[in-house]
Amino acid sequence: MSYRALKQGILGLLKSPDFDLSVEEIRRLPARKVINPLFSLLYNKDEQVRWRAVTAFGAVVETLADSDMESGRIIMRRIMWNLNDESGGIGWGSPEAMGESLARHEGLAKEYAAILLSYAREDGNYLEHEMLQQGLLWGIGRLAEMSPDLIKHYLPHLIPYLKSGDACVRGLAARVMGLLGLKEAGPELERLTEDDSEIKLYTGNTLLKRQVKDLAQEALEKLPQS
């Protein structure tokens, strides 16, 4: 099968009404062949296709790393290259793909969680573009759902994102604070309970519209009580 035909076939699966079944079908395809089409679909103009490509990407990396850990590492290094200024690209979708992959594979998470978090640190591999920050915070939140202990050490570096000029960054940062229960974020989360901005949140393979204030309130309710 040609690359073009394979990509079109995967695109059709990503658009399928039964996406859970589609992910399993994509898993059964040769992982080393489908990863390139999935990389390209992270740039698709259709927002739903892009997000579903993230989910499928993580599932394929999980399958690949289960059978050959070094192959999983190669994919992680490729994502890191995409986010490197020297690559000549911008890296759209790469933080999300890394976060989804690490959330699905404990071994990769233990090795690469610190690198994912380094993109949030001004003393690390800081991502300046707000759209990349959105993807990064989503990816961190996805990993936080599965392996919170790998992230808690880095939480103080995420508090400044609650003050971002980008509503999506603020909302996703608030969600992370709730997932990890960072008590020190309380004052900023209180302030965000007045933020009426609406964002889109991809969760449970579904795109939802949420208000920042609601995400902040939910996070506050999860914080440990003094």
pLDDT digits (tens, 9 = 90+) for 34-48: 999 999 999 999 999
Report DSSP state, residue 93. Answer: T
| Confidence check: pLDDT of 86 > 90 | no
Is residue 174 domain-resident?
A: yes
pTM, 2 dp: 0.95
Is residue 40 domain-resident?
A: yes
The 3-state DSSP class for residue 104 equals: helix
Is residue 147 domain-resident?
A: no
Are 113 and 183 part of one and the same domain? no
110-166 pLDDT, tens digit per residue, is: 999 999 999 999 999 999 999 999 999 999 999 999 999 999 888 889 999 999 999
Instruction: Provide DSSP, 126-193.
Output: ---SHHHHHHHHHHHHHHHHH-GGGTGGGGGGTGGGGG-SSHHHHHHHHHHHHHHT-GGGHHHHHHHT
pLDDT of 89? 65
Q: pLDDT tier at 64 (50, 70, 90 boundaries)?
A: very high
Report DSSP state, residue 205. Answer: T
Read off the CATH number of the domain in which 183 is found.
1.25.10
Domain that holds residue 75: 1-135
pLDDT of 88? 57
pLDDT of 224? 86
Residue where the block lists tokens 């200024």: 85
Q: pLDDT tier at 6 (50, 70, 90 boundaries)?
A: very high
Is residue 17 domain-resident?
A: yes
Domains of the chain: total: 2
pLDDT of 87? 56
pLDDT of 226? 59
